[in-house]
Amino acid sequence: MRPPTHILVVNGIKVRKPVFVLAAPHSGSDLLARALKRSPGFHVTMGRASVAHVVYAFARRPSIAGRGTGATRVLRDALAESWQIVPGACMECPAPCREAGGVTGAGPCAASGAVARFGDASPDLLYSASVLLQAFPDARFVQLIRDGRDVAADMLADPAALSWFRPAMLSEETEFPNPFLGVKSGEHGDRWKAMPTAGKCALRWRSAVRLSAALHQELPREQLMTLRYEDLAADPAEAVRGLSDFLETRVSRVALYGRNAPKVGIWRSRLRGSDAELVEKVAREELARLGYR
């Protein structure tokens, strides 16, 4: 049973139907956040420290997220802090969020008088989806799916993503199953530590898309939309049109063109043969189910 609805107020604005972007790493959440940040009436944050600390705590120790209203309150408070529109607030945002919002100085990326909708596209927000639904029963969720081979190729080139694959990430305090790393039980710990990095990337993607599939059973249809990264690349206008209808507001598509345009099939030139074979072996079932052949 959901707790009683709590109307959050930020800068005198009631938070109604906030938008949360869910995706595996390097699956396009940053592109969608960029589009939303540049859409009229939206204030969208990405990776603010107050949210990131909570999200990664829930991701690494899922039992924390299941502790009733306490977890809900913590995440709601973290987002309320992140959404504050005050002088200097954007200076606390990570570089990708500032760049996506076109922020060059100390001023905020949004004017409180123009904001009608809030949202967040922090990395790995997927692992907090159930808590977000409890915190904001009227929320709208947009999840992105991308070819796991392209995801692995981008993760292998990202030091921040690779930092999660240190052997120390699996310690005596690690909870299992661990969707964040894609490890089912402690018995698989030694195998995970010995696995090539490409295989660990594939495990993270495989686990994330399984969580995404499960959300279809948990969330009402009117609250969840799934977009393919490849559709954003093939026809940005059509993809954004569908997103605008879902969110009942106009979403900018300008951010999906030019140097920020989605890139499809990069794994063919960037994954070594052995890495590509390992990714396809680990994620074979999900790649096939999602039509990535």
**Per-residue pLDDT reduced to its tens digit, 69-126:** 889 999 999 999 999 988 777 777 888 887 887 776 666 677 778 899 999 999 999 9
Cis peptide before 177 (omega within 30 of 0): yes
The Cα 261–Cα 202 span in angstroms is 24
Tell me which of 94-108, 165-179, 199-213, 252-266 is least confident.
Answer: 94-108
Six-digit token pair at 13?
Answer: 């604005």
Residues 54, 97: Cα–Cα separation, whole Å: 18
Q: Is 271 helix (H, G, I), strand (E, B) or coil?
A: coil
How many Cβ atoms from other residues are within 10 Å of residue 204's Cβ? Answer: 27
| Spatial separation of the C-alpha atoms in residues 121 and 126, rounded to whole Å | 9
Mean pLDDT of 240-245: 96
User: By C-alpha distance, which of 39, 58, 241 is closest to 132?
Assistant: 58
| Six-digit token string for 101 | 């919002």
Place of tokens 């979403």: 251
> Confidence band (pLDDT; 50, 70, 90) for 1?
very low
Give residue-wise pLDDT tens across range 42-67. 999 999 999 999 999 998 888 887 66
Furthest-apart CA pair in the chain: how many Å? 55
CA atoms in the 13 A half-sphere facing the CB of 81:
16
pLDDT of residue 174: 85
Distance of CA 179 to the CA centre of its chain: 14
Nearest Cα neighbor of 213 from 5, 18, 22 is: 22
| Domain covering 1-146+221-262, topology | Rossmann fold (3.40.50)
Q: Does the structure show a pLDDT above 70 at 2?
A: no
The string over 146-166, giving b where at least 16 C-beta atoms fall within 10 Å of a residue's C-beta and e elsewhere, is bbbbbbbbbbbeeeebeebbe
Q: In the chain, what are the domain boundaries?
A: 1-146+221-262, 147-219+263-293
Predicted confidence (pLDDT) at residue 4 exceeds the cutoff of 50: no
The model carries a pTM of 0.93
Position with higher pLDDT, 89 vs 157? 157
What pLDDT sits at residue 96? 82
The span from the CA of 21 to the CA of 121, in Å, is 5
Instruction: State residue 78 phi and psi, 5-degree precision.
Output: -65, -40
Q: How far apart are CA 148 and CA 279, in angstroms?
A: 8
Can you give the pLDDT at residue 254? 87
